[in-house]
Amino acid sequence: MDPSIVINLSLVVLFIIFTAFFVGAEFSVVKVRMSRIDQLVAEGNKRAIIVSKLVNNLDYYLSACQLGITVTALVLGALGEPTVEKILHPLFNDLGLSESVSTLLSYAIAFASVTFLHVVIGELAPKTLAIQYTEQLTLILGPPLYWFGKLMAPFIYLLNGSARVFLKLFGVKPAAHESAHSEEELRIIMTQSYQSGEINKTELSYMENIFTFDERVAKDIMVPRTQVVTLEKSMTAAEVIEIIDEHQFTRYLVTEDGDKDHIIGFVNVKEMLTDFAAGRRQSLPSFIHELPLIHEGTSLQDALLKMQTERVHIALVVDEYGGTAGILTMEDILEEIVGEIHDEFDEDEVPDIQEVSDRKYHINGRVLLDDLEDQFGSVFDNREDVDTIGGWIFVKNDEVDSQTTVVDAAGNEWEVIEMDNHQILMIELRILEQKQLPMLEA
């Protein structure tokens, strides 16, 4: 065989490999997760350090890949087809075909074979590998791509600059690649990660709770004024211990003359009982600490920051008129992220939403309408000035008792089954329409 043909065939194979390299590098660099690369960088992976430079300058190195793919494709076209044609042409002549037919068949077969090899081996195969083994291929192909980009810098800058000038003629301005994700995109990513088994249901729930955390305000989760248990400043030690034994809370607000609109601070039961156990028996006022105030419209994020700054686990929530609206505890805030926190004193505590039977639930009157809409598909009208299901039922009825039933716009029945004075404590939800119901965790 003619040595030139052997050399040309070797070059064809080499440039198909080069094409595969640039295609694989392009897809892997685009698809690689930057969070994973940052993790590898923190672990001291030298290849990851180079890959991070590629990802942070993605526009430049994608141009390097495109330059490499284009050049290798042109070389394959220039070498591959003539070389294969030279091999096939004599064979067709030996078969007795005319010169024109031999030339036509030779070029057709040469074109088809080189195109097949170029597309399958040079492009489709490396693309598939890059998608399936993104991290591994990026770490392998990243360093040589980095040095290729350095070597071809003058050409890449020239080509990029020319492209920008061309686009500017049509009023198109170049924009940087956006690497940040919106909240909705992160929700989709987390859901996909859960579906693929990368994270569990608990981790997914934490992320969803964090996204809704910023949307909540103190009013949404506070213990309302009517349920706040207080101590009175002039109480005796025996009276204080009686209340502590009955309710078993860690902290209590202290009032002046029993007026919940005149809160003078809070006491920590641990301090008091330690003092009592030591036989000192100081009066109640000596245990009172200052209580931070937050407005009922304060975001949970700001409330948490204030409580962290002042190093307290409880805050007084006031309404727009300066009266006591309720209290907010650190536990209430953390439960918005991690779910219900139970301790040894919560044995009798029931969840806010209990599944009683098929399409029947018992729901705490303080549960938010937004949560019920998400979980049950309910639609609540006239809800502009209310946040909870109990408040919504009061809006729908002038007179409410333990027999009151309201139907929402989605056809679900809400019946009041427990009240305390004028406060709705428990509601029974009956879902009348046939629909897929949520599965409540135990």
- List, for residues 56-111, the tens digit of each pLDDT value: 888 899 999 999 999 998 888 888 777 777 777 677 777 777 777 777 787 788 78
Please say if the pLDDT value at position 165 is more than 60.
yes
157 torsion bin: left (phi>0), alpha (psi -120 to 50), beta (else):
alpha
Per-residue pLDDT at 178 exceeds 70 = no
Residue 441 has a pLDDT of 46
In a domain, 151, yes or no: yes
Alpha-carbon span 41 to 35, nearest angstrom: 10
How much is the pLDDT for 69? 92
Same domain, 419 and 319: no
**Structure-token pair, residue 248:** 């078993």
Among the residue ranges 166-180, 201-215, 412-426, the one predicted with the least confidence is 166-180
173 lies in a domain?
Answer: no
Q: How confident is the model at residue 266 (pLDDT cuts 50, 70, 90)?
A: very high
Asked whether the predicted pLDDT for residue 233 surpasses 50, the reply is: yes
Report pLDDT digits (tens) over 191-228: 888 888 878 888 888 787 787 777 788 988 898 888 89
Residue scoring higher pLDDT (377 or 136): 136
Do 58 and 97 have their domain in common? yes
User: pLDDT of 316-331, one tens digit each?
Assistant: 999 988 899 999 999 8
Domain assignment of residue 343, yes or no: no
Specify the pLDDT at position 327. Answer: 94
| HSE value, Cβ hemisphere, 13 Å, CA-based, for 315 | 29
CATH number of the domain encompassing residue 418: 3.30.465.10
Shared domain for 387 and 360, answered yes or no, is yes
Same domain, 334 and 365: no
Establish if 190 belongs to a structural domain: yes
What would the two tokens of residue 309 be? Answer: 């700054």
Domain final position from 139, 168, 197? 168
Of the chain, the percentage scoring pLDDT greater than 90 comes to 27
Reported as a pLDDT band with limits 50, 70 and 90, residue 179 is low
- Distance from chain centroid for Cα 260: 40
pLDDT of res. 95: 74
18 with 163, same domain?
yes
Domain boundary among the residues 280, 303, 338 is at: 338
* Domain assignment of residue 406, yes or no: yes
Categorize the per-residue pLDDT at 114 as very low, low, confident or very high, splitting at 50, 70 and 90.
confident
**Residues 33 and 160 occupy one common structural domain:** yes
Judge whether 64 and 148 are in contact, CB under 8 Å: yes
Average model confidence (pLDDT) for the chain? Answer: 84
Judging by beta carbons within 10 Å of its beta carbon (0-12, 13-18, 19+), is residue 95 exposed, middle or buried?
Answer: exposed
Q: Structure pTM?
A: 0.52
**Mean pLDDT within 17-43:** 90
Tell me whether residue 303 is in a domain: yes
* Domain annotation covers residue 436: no
Q: What is the pLDDT of residue 440?
A: 47
pLDDT of 436 strictly over 60 = no
pLDDT bucket at 120, cuts 50 / 70 / 90: very high
Structurally, the chain folds into a number of domains equal to: 4
Looking at the structure, do residues 206 and 246 belong to the same domain, yes or no? no
Is 286 inside any structural domain?
yes
Examine the domain organization and report whether 207 and 235 are in the same domain: no
Distance, C-alpha 233 to centroid of its chain: 47
Do 302 and 262 have their domain in common?
A: yes
pLDDT at 439 over 50: no
Which of 338, 363, 378 delimits the end of a domain?
A: 338
- Judgement on whether residues 208 and 72 belong to the same structural domain of the protein: no
Its domain, for residue 393, covers 353-431
Query: What is the 3 state secondary structure string of 24-88?
Result: HHHHHHHHCCHHHHHHHHHCCCHHHHHHHHHHHCHHHHHHHHHHHHHHHHHHHHHHHHHHHHHHH
Q: How far is residue 163 from each of residues 73, 152, 156, 157, 167, measured CA to CA in Å?
A: 20, 17, 10, 10, 6
What is the CATH number for 250? 3.10.580.10
pLDDT at position 315: 94
